[in-house]
Amino acid sequence: MKCDLLSLADLDPEQVHDLMALAIELKAELAAGGNGPVLASKSLAMVFQKPSLRTRVSFEMGMQQLGGHALYIAPAEIDLGHRESVADVARVLARYVDGIMARVYAHDDVVQLARWASVPVINGLSDLVHPCQGLTDLLTIQEKLGRLRGVHLTYVGDGNNVLHSLLYAAALTGMKLTYATPAGYDPLPEVVSKASDLATATGATICAERDAKRAVRGTDVIYTDTWTSMGQEAEAAERRHVFPAYQVNDDLLSAAGSQAVVMHCLPAHRGEEITDAVADGERSWLFDQAENRLHAQKAVLVKLLRG
């Protein structure tokens, strides 16, 4: 029976732990001279509706380092759901490749790909969740702090797909997650409810705040993301008026305390959600975090494609 990765909410704590352990193992193996060709003869179709530096390069290099092959399919080549139906694309690609990674606008597109494809489907990003980023963030925190349970993570900014995946990630691993979002830009209530349900089994806690400085007090990690995601460009000017109190800058870092570090999934709109001084400062994990997209996703590829 095939397995997909559409949302972290589909995993249980043991599966998350196993993926973290495998990612750490694969990263160490690469550093020691290279990964074994455990995905030799395996192929991954990478379907893109949205462009991405990290998603494309990390999946493509991940497959290469594991002995497999990745095929990039640009938006115009399929025009998913328009030139061809999602169901037809899924059934055709499944005849050619061993797995499909899709970076889409509407979450239902990746759900339909998984429904109709006979091979594993990986959500490389949708408007609802970003599970590969969530796994990357867990790997980075585990690597840097040596634990996940009890870590206090504070998200500041827009209640978007990245926050949704962080809610699930924290809930599955026993973390404390505080999120500070402006009124009208909260995460979806159904996501918060689902994360709260998952948290009951792990002892995780989820807290909501409006005031960013109050939210970050005593936190271990401050996390932010762009104020305007792809597809929301028409809202950019309005959002620039709403979000300045949520900028991650030296003042917010001071409010958090000397222990706090900063994460951002990138790309960053420097001068908006984060300043240059913080992004490039000694307490920034941004580029170690970006590197870990490769290792976290390799763990997913091995789990889903090796068979």
Q: Which residues are catalytic?
A: 103, 130, 133, 225, 265, 293
| Contact in structure between 254 and 105 (CB atoms under 8 Å) | no
Alpha helices in the chain (DSSP H): 13-31, 53-65, 75-78, 86-96, 107-116, 131-145, 161-173, 189-199, 212-216, 236-242, 250-256, 276-279, 286-305
| Contact in structure between 163 and 185 (CB atoms under 8 Å) | no
Report CA-CA distances (Å) from 147 to 88, 130, 235, 269.
43, 22, 38, 30
Distance, CA of 104 to CA of 98 (rounded, Å): 19
CB atoms within 10 A of CB 15: 15
Distance, CA of 6 to CA of 121 (rounded, Å): 7
Distance, CA of 252 to CA of 257 (rounded, Å): 9
